[in-house]
Structure 1
Amino acid sequence: MSLFSKENRDALTGPLNLNNPVAVQVLGICSALAVTSQLEPAIVMGLSVTVITAFSNVIISLLRKTIPNRIRIIVQLVVVAALVTLVSQVLKAYAYDVSVQLSVYVGLIITNCILMGRLEAFAMMNGPWESFLDGIGNGLGYAWVLVAVGFVRELLGNGTLLGLRVIPECIYASNGGFYVNNGMMTMPAMALILLGCLIWALRAINKEA
């Protein structure tokens, strides 16, 4: 089978749109709401989930024929927990401020329903390469939703992106202008509203979803 056969391309690109884990399957909502008040933690969380989903899929796919059925969930959790621990330590070593912002949500990747769902539904039944593509696709599908919500929330809530001033100070009401930051954007309720709007838009565009 070709490395980039139609089935493999679908496994990689499907979760980005028609089979998006957040917008279509409505999975991983908790972390999507919790880490999107700013763009940087949203990007880091999305990349972390992508890496963990891809490599846990590969590992479980390699082990799938040797894992007794009655303990398969335990084995999956052990593999995911090991990868999450590695990612958490890397973040603490090289991106400590972001690690603090993400708080417990990096650890909670262990129970992320997107990740566990792909292990059970795909990696246990497919080869390593197909599972790797599926993990990358679902991780990036999750990540772009977080980044989109984080982009809007930080821009309209703080007037910044990645901590850098984007909306000029001169147009703020405090400086004689007309603009005021939307404080609602920094609240969890607005994350839910934005995510709901994004889900509606994607489903309206993609009638198949």
Structure 2
Amino acid sequence: MFDKISEIFKDGLWNKNPGLVQLLGLCPLLAVTSTAANALGLGIATIAVLTVSNLLISAVRRLLKAEVRIIIYVIIIASVVTCVQLCMQAYTAELYEALGLYISLIVTNCIIIARAEIFASRNSMFYSALDGFANGLGFTAVLLFIGGVREIIGKGTLFSGMDQLIGESGRNLQINLFSADDGLLIAILPPGAFITLGLLVAAKNYLDNRLYIKNSSKKRDSESTIVTE
């Protein structure tokens, strides 16, 4: 049990991260990450939708005919997104306005459909909920990193607009590093999102390759020791 839980979180956060490895959900990932606050808001919404939709799809998976399963998945996901959307509209109205259409587009997010088809339709409710949470957390981490880097380079701030997410206390979280006039404009424009994501993917691949080489070297040394003995 613990091995499977560990595998689910490793895959969602690193090995099969939907934003870095599978490159799914690029539309919202690149569109709303001009600030860390926007990225975090969309990330939390995505975690909620992934977790609840995976849970519900797993609960009804044995009742669905293969011919209509995708339609039912979309209906379930759309219902969950609507609930999340209404909650954001009620409690974080300013953030909801800032994110706009991209909250509704979670319905068509490839990550949600992919996890429903690949995992939730084949596993128990408990593991499906964990899978949704882990993948949502991994996607949110990518969103937050890209949003933070773009905001720092482009505006000279970090966590500006957090009051839209958590209320007035969020204003105290804003960090001012330098004047916005000294920022690099391209960072908060669409090309900045592509460049940041590309560098992040390259960094992950580099670390994975280094780890693979290190593990391979240890394995060869171990085999050599055994043969010598």
Fold conserved (TM > 0.5)? Answer: yes
1:149 correspondence with 2:146: yes
2: CA distance, partners of 1:53 / 1:13: 17
2: CA distance, partners of 1:138 / 1:206: 19
1:57 aligned partner: 54
Q: Which runs of structure 2 are paired with 1:76-91 in the superposition (5 Å)?
A: 76-91=73-88
1:167 correspondence with 2:177: yes
Q: Deviations over 1:35-69 (max 9, x none)?
A: 10011110010111111001100100010000111
Distance apart, 1:9 and its partner CA: 1.7
1:102 aligned partner: 99
Max Rg structure: 2
Total equivalences in the alignment: 197
Structure 1 counterpart of 2:144, which letter? V
- Relative distance call for 1:36 and 1:55 in structure 2 (3 A) is same
**C-alpha RMSD of the superposition:** 1.4
- Uncovered stretches (5+) of structure 1, i.e. residues with no partner: 175-179
Taking structure 1 as the reference length, what is the TM-score of the superposition?
Answer: 0.91
Give the conservation status (yes or no) of the 8 Å contact 1:24–1:203.
no
- Relative distance call for 1:182 and 1:25 in structure 2 (3 A) is same
- RCO comparison, higher one (Cα < 8 Å, 6+): 1
- What is the percent sequence identity of the aligned residues? 34
Q: Could you list the structure 1 runs, at least 4 aligned residues long, displaced by more than 4 angstroms after superposition.
A: none
Give the conservation status (yes or no) of the 8 Å contact 2:12–2:18.
yes
Q: Which structure has greater helix proportion?
A: 2
2: CA distance, partners of 1:115 / 1:168: 38
Taking structure 2 as the reference length, what is the TM-score of the superposition?
Answer: 0.83
2: CA distance, partners of 1:64 / 1:165: 46
Q: Deviations over 1:148-182 (max 9, x none)?
A: 0000111111111222342145xx8x7xxxxx111
Give the conservation status (yes or no) of the 8 Å contact 2:156–2:183.
yes
1:177 aligned partner: none
- Uncovered stretches (5+) of structure 2, i.e. residues with no partner: 161-173, 213-229
